[in-house]
Amino acid sequence: MFGMQYTAAGDASLMITFNPFFTALLAIFFLNERMNWRLGTGLAMGIIGVTILFLYSPNVDIPFNERALGDLLIAAAALSWACNSILMKKAMTTPAPDATESLSPLQLTVWSSVVGFLLLTPMVAVETWYVGWPDPNLYGWISLVFLAVFSTVISYVWFADGIRTIGAGKSALYVYLVPPFGIFSGWLLLDEKLGVPLLISFVLIVGGVALAQSQQAKGEEAS
């Protein structure tokens, strides 16, 4: 969120796609996952697609130093999320020393939310003390409810279950869908423009995800 203060939403959606790169590297060292040619090619296709979008970014009205700071913070968030994916995978596949079973996706979501509540609530209290109590309108409250229910609870549980099913590295590839869907939503809801670069990027990104997943699909059919 701090990074979003300094850079554009489109740039943020691009920078967050560094998550698969970080996750794939961490998974090799901490989860013993292999970097096969399908996963590597899928990553490369996704990076090329993101690069095309980045080169045609319209957010040139923001000063470069502010964009650089915001992009750096978003990249750090991507690294943090990659570490989170690795820890989630281990928590759902390896029981704790004093436990007989590993955590389920729902249990992991609940406990993560509890820890997040304990860490963030004091920060919110301090910020409210200095800034004042926010007064969102009706659309603001609707956005907050949507963020809490769909973007946090439901999405987080599904993402955790996906990590347990197909692995951290392949799950992270789906973050490449953030820029195309983000820009499409901007066109649908904010009347922003679409173009050929978006189409090319979307094909590369979706194709990269499909290629990385194809090997697992064949393995499941064979079994």
pLDDT digits (tens, 9 = 90+) for 23-73: 777 777 777 777 778 778 877 887 787 777 667 666 656 676 777 788 788
pTM: predicted TM-score of the whole model, two decimal places: 0.61
DSSP for 35-67 reads: --HHHHHHHHHHHHHHHHHHHT---TTS-HHHH
End-to-end alpha carbon distance in the chain:
44
* DSSP SS3 for 191: coil
Name the residue with tokens 């956005």.
Answer: 143
Identity of the amino acid at 41: T
**Cβ proximity of 48 and 204 under 8 Å:** yes
Residues of the chain with pLDDT under 50: 216-223
Is residue 164 within 8 Å of 92, Cβ to Cβ?
Answer: yes
For residue 60, the model assigns a pLDDT of 57
pLDDT computed for residue 118 by the predictor: 92
Q: Is 207 exposed, middle or buried (0-12, 13-18, 19+ CB in 10 A)?
A: middle
Ordered by start, the domain boundaries in the chain are: 3-99+166-222
Q: How far apart (Å, rounded) are the C-alpha atoms in residues 155 and 173? A: 15
Amino acid 213: pLDDT: 61
- Cα 183 to Cα 166: distance, rounded to the nearest angstrom: 27
**Under a CB-based contact definition with an 8 Å cutoff, are residues 70 and 12 in contact?**
yes
Q: What is the pLDDT of residue 158?
A: 82
